[in-house]
Amino acid sequence: MTEYKKVSESATVLTELMIPSYSNFGGKIHGGVILSLMDKVAYVCAAKHADTYCVTAAIERVDFLAPVEIGDLVSLMASVNYTGKSSVVVGIRVTSENIKTRRVKHTNTSYFTMVAKNEEGKPTPVPGLLLESREDARRFLEAITRREIKSESEQYFLQQKDRSPVETALTILANERCKIGFM
Ligand SMILES: CC(C)(COP(=O)(O)OP(=O)(O)OC[C@H]1O[C@@H](n2cnc3c(N)ncnc32)[C@H](O)[C@@H]1OP(=O)(O)O)[C@@H](O)C(=O)NCCC(=O)NCCS
């Protein structure tokens, strides 16, 4: 296995025309269609880096910043941001272009953690990442920070569960738009 690979060796762009069957009742494109395309491009990018089959382990939160219209050309730009032992984090930037006006909107950016698997279906090592620019290094460092924040937030919720059973935290709900229907 190659020890280190460049980001450019697996960077992938997927472009797809938004056809009417992808739309929701409001006439815009379903968020799920975009998520499915993101999963596909993440897979291609990760598998090209790992040279093996990969699975999606986790998806960083996805905010839809702007609606995507029927007839738009959606482009998903994916590159490996981070490499662990058997996992890679693929950063994906999604834009949608109105073909008539050529106006391009940034619709969302997200990060997919993909895990490489061997023939037995077990996680298998991936090549490291050769950081060729400050941009590559910045993305790698940001992925480490996101991982740390996720781990801290998981710890926080675990501790909260032990510390404040629902009954003792019910006062928080007093100013929320809900009504207690039990007890
Ligand atoms: C993700 C999966 C491969 C992890 O397997 P596992 O036996 O728990 O493996 P490990 O604990 O050794 O973790 C392997 C790597 O995955 C990473 N990983 C596992 N779960 C993760 C999660 N929820 N978020 C981020 N990374 C995760 C680990 O950090 C580790 O990374 P590293 O090798 O770079 O250090 C396994 O849970 C799986 O196959 N899940 C289903 C994936 C799938 O089917 N996806 C499609 C959804 S429909």
85 lines ligand 1 (CB under 6 A): yes
With cut-offs at 50, 70 and 90, classify the pLDDT of residue 159.
confident
Residue with CA at minimum distance from ligand 1 atom 24: 58
Report the 10 Å Cβ neighbour count for 133. 9
pLDDT tens digit string along 4-54? 999 999 999 999 999 999 999 999 999 999 999 999 999 999 999 999 999
With cut-offs at 50, 70 and 90, classify the pLDDT of residue 171.
confident
84 lines ligand 1 (CB under 6 A): yes
**Given ligand 1 and candidates 49, 115, 117, 144, which is best to mutate, with the most ligand atoms within 8 Å of its CB?**
115
70 contacts 29 by C-beta, under 8 angstroms: yes
With cut-offs at 50, 70 and 90, classify the pLDDT of residue 161.
confident
71 lines ligand 1 (CB under 6 A): no
For 14-36, b where at least 16 C-beta lie within 10 A, e where not — what string? bebebeeebbeeeebbbeebbbe
Phi, psi angles (nearest 5°) of residue 84: -105, -145
Q: Return the CATH class of domain 4-131.
A: alpha beta
Q: Is the pLDDT of residue 151 over 80?
A: yes
Give the number of the atom of ligand 1 that is nearest the alpha carbon of residue 87.
34
122 lines ligand 1 (CB under 6 A): no
* CA distances, 119 to each of 52, 59, 70, 125, 163 (Å): 9, 24, 40, 13, 44
- Give the Cα separation of 54 and 15 in Å (integer): 21
| CA 96 to ligand 1 center in whole angstroms | 31
Token duo for residue 53: 């089959």
